[in-house]
A and B are shown apart, each in its own frame.
Chain A
Amino acid sequence: MNIPNSSTAPAAGEYAGDEVSAIVLDPGYSSTRAGFAGEDVPKSVCPSFYGQRDTDSGLHYAFGENAIHNPQDRLDIKNYWGSDGIVEDWDVATKLWEYAITDRLTGAKATDPTKNGLNDGNTNGDSMDVDIEALENNEKPLEESPLLITEPGWNSAKAREKYIEIAMEDWGAPAFFLQKTGVLAAFASGKASGIIIDVGASHTSVTPVLDGMVLRKGVQKSPLAGNFISNQIRQIFKQSSPEIPLTPHYLVKSKTQVDAGSPAQAAYKTFANPPTDSFRFNEEERVLTEFKESVVEVWPGPGRFSNGNNEEIARNTPGRPFEMPDGWNQVFSSERFRAAEGLFDASAALTSDTSPRPKDEHTIPRLVQAAVQQVDADQRPMLLANIVVTGGSTLLYKFNERLNYEINAIYPSTRNKLIAPGSVVERKYASWIGGSILASLGSFHQLWISRKEYEEHGAGIVEKRCR
């Protein structure tokens, strides 16, 4: 036996791990994560955007990273999520989730022994009966694995029933469970209670969790998240003089080096049937994502970016260069702080005709305040000592410093502690990891909603069991 140390796995009885090869599905606006419970990262991460191609032979869907970035004519890029943070297009969602699961996890099933021609000689009546049933099950992709799906904290009861229907009816899962992303993100950080600040692509949510249960009254969400920052960057590009051109990769055939700020000299591709606007928009978002990752910085405080001479200080810090796909490049100095400032200070957000000024109560500090307000006074200090930060947009440079400053400004008398996993994967996929932990626990076996229970009680059981 090895001596137990930090790198050896704990004994089986110690952490109550008992893996039943459950599948965890964590759909988000930007990406859909799927993987086997008990693993530390999702094996399958595919974009939640999908391509829809209306051809003569009917609708064709394109799923996966490779498909949606391929410039084809009449390829519309869409997302199945609604603007309210609840799945809108259930048909496509089912298909896309199924793709995410089968593409990397379960794979195509082997042909049944009765059909693969190897057992042709064997004509046994008994086995034939069984085969028919097996054949039926075979069409369902998940018949062997219990399924855990994550849902946003504000999911409607109707949507929740839809999840279990998909899992049971369409996929034939033997067991199912639905858990909120907030709870799972807290589990991923080893916390049963806390406030979870999740800044994703489409929505920012603040979820108070107590002993693994969401306090529903305290759940707050706002549209100020990653996509909002992308829009802010677009406006920065538009408002700068001269206007900064935004050319996605697929349009550029070749580029030559140019000086900073001077117009790009690139050869562009020409398409006989140019792709749709939505395709271009999606490709532009990819460039903006890169910009967010490499240039945008959050003003770390103290004070807001617009306060005092903070802007002056920011101007004096070294800027960051960025080069567009077509070779245009520039060093961005103080304007890179402006893109994300709207998350914390609504009045600092850039506005235009299409994007009105965000509401004050949608900024992250106000969300946290509202969420804490809805919690029993006895629990507030404990929750504030466990603030879990998750979501891809929290990876913005200095985001945590600013958040820490803002929360300490609101609650100076409590011990506020931010828990933000250092690794990018853990930050981005926290709720999946939490689900992976949960579904691999032996003590979780009794919580699954079994097929039998579903058949007995109907879809309404999900309200009763998954709370």
Chain B
Amino acid sequence: MTNIPLTNILFLSTALFFIGAYGLFTRRNMITMLMSVELMLNSVNINFVAFNKYLYPDKLGGVFFSIFIITIAAAEAAVAIAIIINLYRSHHSIDVEDASEMKY
């Protein structure tokens, strides 16, 4: 376990973050977009845990932060799904392209 270098883990989390970002910008389905956001959040979690483990092994700040983020992500998912349901009720679609009235 200890012989895995930090850079590998950072590589993983960066890849995960940009995969999420790519998904967020390209997918039109809101559920998928929500999933992409979750990916990005998890990449951040990995960073926290990894840095905690490698730089300050005797402290727990990074771990606590990840637990916080997981909790908030749950709440955020609830809010996001509520928004999606409302959007579906008014537009009969969860495609973001269909909800573009708020423009110039």
Q: Do A and B bind each other?
A: no
